[in-house]
Structure 1
Amino acid sequence: MVDRDFLFRVLERFGFSPHWINFLKACIDGPWIFVLVNGSPQGFFQLSRGLWQGDPLPPFVFILLAKVLGRFIRHMRSEDKWKGVHVAAGVDAVTHQQFANYTILFGDASLREARIIKKTLDVFCDASDQQVNWAKSDIFFSNTDLRKQREIARILGVKVGTLPSRFLGTLLFGGPNRMSMLQRLMDSCVNKLEGWKSKWLTSAGRLLLLKSVLSAMPIYSMMCFKVLEKIVRSINQFMRFWNGKSEQDKIPLVAWDKVCQPKLAGGAGLRNWSLLNEAMGAKLIWQMYEKPDKKGVQILKHKYLDSNDRERIFTVRDPPRGSAIWNFLLSCRKVITDHITWQLGNGEKAIFWTDSWDGRPSLSLRGEVGQIRLVTEAHWGYKVRDYLVKVRSNGVDEWKWKDVDMLPLSPQ
C-alpha cells in the first residue's frame, strides 16, 4: 500500500490535471468488484480503499514513487551529503540505478555514508508509507575490511552478499570467465524446456512456448556481453529437437536459418540468437551516439575514448580493450559502421579510404587499391580533408581533389 495523500501530492507536482487525479481517487477510495463463482459473476460489493491484485494501475503508481525516490537521492547528492561512487574522471558520481521494482544504491564504504543512505530511505518510507524488503536486500563491498563491512551492514540492517550475484538473470561482476556465466543461462533454458511436457503439445503449441518464453530469457544477458557461439549452437540444437527424447536423433528437414526467418518469408519466426546478440550491442552503440548525456555513455567515453565527440565511437581506429560490456560494444560496432555514410562538411571526420561518405560505398571495396592507398596515406593522410586542396578561380575559392599523378609510385 501507499499513502494516498502522498500519492495525490506527487501527481499534482508531476503536473497531472485535477480531473485525472479525481478519477484515480475514485479508483482507489471506493472500487466496486464482483466475484466469479463457477465462471459467473455473483453480486457486487465495495472495497473500503486500495487497489486489488491484478489491477493495471499499481505498476504505474510504483514507477511514479520510484521517480520520487530517485529525485530525493539526487537532491541528497546535490547537497554533497550522499557521496556515491566515482567510476570515471570527469563524470559525476553514481548514486543509484532503477529498473522495474529494483533499485541499486551506490555509496562510499563509510559509516557516514551508510547513515545517510539509511536516513534517505527512512524519510521516503515514512512519507510514502512504502517499506523496503530488507529480507531480499543485499549489500556488496569492494576492497573493504571485514570489520567495516559488518558495521555498515548493521547500520543498514541488511546481510552482506557475495559476488557474483544474479540480477535479471545476469551475473553481476562475474569476472573474465564468461563461459561459466553463459553456462548458467544455457542450463536455465534447458531446464525450462525439459519442464514442459512436449509430447502432449502440438507443434504449434511448442512453437508458441519457444517464442514467448525461451526467446525472452537471454535478453538481458545479450545486452551486456557477447554470447559465445558454442552456447548459441547448443541452445539452437536443443530448441530444434525439442520433440521428446525419442526424437533426439532425427535429421532436421529444414535448415535452422530458414526456421529463423519471419513467417511471411516462409520461416517459423524464431529468433536467431547470434543476430539478436549483435543487434543488442548495435543498439547500445547507437545510444552512445544519440544520447551522449546519459551517465552510462559518459562513463564509457571518459574511460575508454580520447574525445567526448559524439562520432568518436565510430571514428576511433584502434579503441582500447576493457570491460566485458565495452569489448562487446566494439565487436558490434561494424553492424553500424557498415550501414552509415558521412555527409561531408569540412571533411575532418570521414576517413577517405575506409568510410562511406556522400552516399558512396567505401573505396576500399573497389578491387585492388592497396598500393595507391599506401602511397596516399603516407603522403597526405587518412581523412577526406587531406585529399582536397583549396584553389582560387575567378575570385572564388573552390575545393578540388589533389592530383595523384604528383605522388611517387611507392611510399617513402
Structure 2
Amino acid sequence: MVEWDFVKALLKKMGFHPKWIQWVIQCISTVNFSVVVNGEARVQINPGRGLWQGDPLSPYLFVLVKDLLSKMISTTQGGNNLAGIQFYRHCPKQSHIFFADDALLFLMVEIHNCATVKQLMGKYGQALGQRINFDKSSVTFSSNMGEIDKQLVCDLLEVQLMKGDARYLRLPSFWGRSKTEAYSFIVDKTLGKLQGWKQKQMSQGGKEIMLKFVTQAIPSYAMSCFLLPKGLCDKVNTYVSNFWWKGDPEARGIHWYSWDKMSKSKKDGGMGFRNFRAMKEALLARQG
C-alpha cells in the first residue's frame, strides 16, 4: 500500500507543477469501495492510503515509485557501498532489474553488501509504506559458493534459498544446457491439457474453440521471450493435429488435410489454427 504523502512528495521532488500534483492526489484519494451483500451495497469503505489497481493512473505512479528505488540503488552502488555483478569483462556492472512489482538484485556475496541491501530496502519500505514479503523472496547463488556461505547469506537477508524447480511467470528460473529439456514443460502441459479431454465427446466446433483459445495459448508467453526449438514446435503441432483428427493427441492416423493448410485463415481455405513455428517468429519480432 503506497502512502499518498509519499506520492505527493515524490511528484514534487521530480518537478511536477503543484496544480498537476493536486489533480493526481485528488484522483487517487477520492476512491471508495462498497461491500455488496445479497446484491445490495451495504458498507462503504474510504481508504486512507494505497493505489487502486483499476485506476489508469496507478501503473504510471508505480513506475515513478520504482524509478526512485532504482536511483537509490544506483546511488548506493556509485558510492562503492554496493557491488553489482559484471557479466562480461568490458560491460558495466548490473545491480538490479525491475519487472512490474518484482525486483531482481545482483550482488557480490559479501557481508557488507547484504547489510547494505537490507538497510536500503528497509528505508525504501518505511518511506513508501510497504514491506518486503520475505515468504515470496528467495536468493540463488553461483555454483562456486559453499553451503555454509549460502546459509549465512540467507540468514542475513532473512530469505529462503531458491529451489531448483522454482518458476517465475510460469517459466523455469534455472536453465540447463539442453533447450529441449528446459522447454519440456510446454510439451507436458499441452499434452496434459489434451489428454484430459480425449475421453469426452466433443464436436468439431468444440475442438476448434478449445485448441485455439486454450491449448494453443499455453506457450504464448514463453514464445514471446525465447526462441523455442523447431522440434518442440513441431511436436506441439503434431499433438494438436492428432487431437483434431482423432480426438487423441498421441493417436496416429490419416490426416486428411496438411497442417500447413490447416494453419491458413478460413478465407484462404484453412481453419485458422496457429502454426507454432510462425508464431514464435512473430512474437519475437515484437522485441525489435
Alignment root-mean-square deviation, CA: 3.4
Q: State the alpha-carbon separation in 1 of the partners of residues 121 and 34 from structure 2.
A: 38
How far off is 1:67 after superposition?
A: 2.2
1:225-280 CA deviation, whole Å, 9 max, x = no partner? Answer: 44233322221123234469856656444332233234554444433211233345
How far off is 1:69 after superposition?
A: 1.6
1:20-55 CA deviation, whole Å, 9 max, x = no partner? Answer: 5334423433324455566x6647835243468762
Q: State the alpha-carbon separation in 2 of the partners of residues 64 and 282 from structure 1.
A: 28
Contact 2:84 2:95 in 1 (8 A): yes
Partner of 1:55: 54
- Aligned partner of residue 183 in structure 2, secondary structure: helix
The answer to whether structure 1 residue 72 and structure 2 residue 75 are counterparts is: no
Contact 2:224 2:280 in 1 (8 A): yes
How far off is 1:203 after superposition?
A: 5.2
Partner of 1:353: none
Change (3 A) 1:159 1:266: same
Contact 2:36 2:42 in 1 (8 A): no
Change (3 A) 1:194 1:247: closer
How far off is 1:93 after superposition?
A: 0.4
What residue identity is the alignment partner of 1:158? Answer: V
How far off is 1:215 after superposition?
A: 3.9
- Aligned partner of residue 184 in structure 1, secondary structure: helix
Partner of 1:354: none
Q: State the alpha-carbon separation in 1 of the partners of residues 53 and 211 from structure 2.
A: 26
| Bigger-Rg structure (1/2) | 1
The answer to whether structure 1 residue 171 and structure 2 residue 177 are counterparts is: no
Change (3 A) 1:41 1:14: farther
The answer to whether structure 1 residue 260 and structure 2 residue 263 are counterparts is: yes
Partner of 1:129: 129
Contact 2:234 2:276 in 1 (8 A): no
- Aligned partner of residue 109 in structure 1, secondary structure: coil
Partner of 1:100: 100
Change (3 A) 1:68 1:213: farther
Q: State the alpha-carbon separation in 2 of the partners of residues 49 and 253 from structure 1.
A: 64
Change (3 A) 1:24 1:225: closer
- Aligned partner of residue 80 in structure 1, secondary structure: coil
- Aligned partner of residue 97 in structure 1, secondary structure: strand
Change (3 A) 1:145 1:27: same
Contact 1:199 1:244 in 2 (8 A): no
How far off is 1:180 after superposition?
A: 1.7
What residue identity is the alignment partner of 1:55? Answer: G
- Aligned partner of residue 72 in structure 1, secondary structure: helix
Partner of 1:231: 232
Q: State the alpha-carbon separation in 2 of the partners of residues 198 and 152 from structure 1.
A: 51
- Aligned partner of residue 92 in structure 1, secondary structure: coil
The alignment covers a number of residue pairs equal to: 284
Partner of 1:6: 6
Aligned runs of 1:115-154 on 2, under 5 Å?
115-142=115-142, 143-154=144-155
**Unmatched runs of 5 consecutive residues or more in structure 1:** 288-412
Change (3 A) 1:78 1:262: farther
TM-score (norm 2): 0.80
Higher RCO by CA contacts (8 Å cutoff, separation 6 or greater): 2
Q: Percent identity?
A: 26
TM-score (norm 1): 0.59
Change (3 A) 1:179 1:19: same
Contact 2:32 2:47 in 1 (8 A): no
**Unmatched runs of 5 consecutive residues or more in structure 2:** none
What residue identity is the alignment partner of 1:79? Answer: G
Q: State the alpha-carbon separation in 1 of the partners of residues 19 and 213 from structure 2.
A: 38
Contact 1:211 1:270 in 2 (8 A): yes
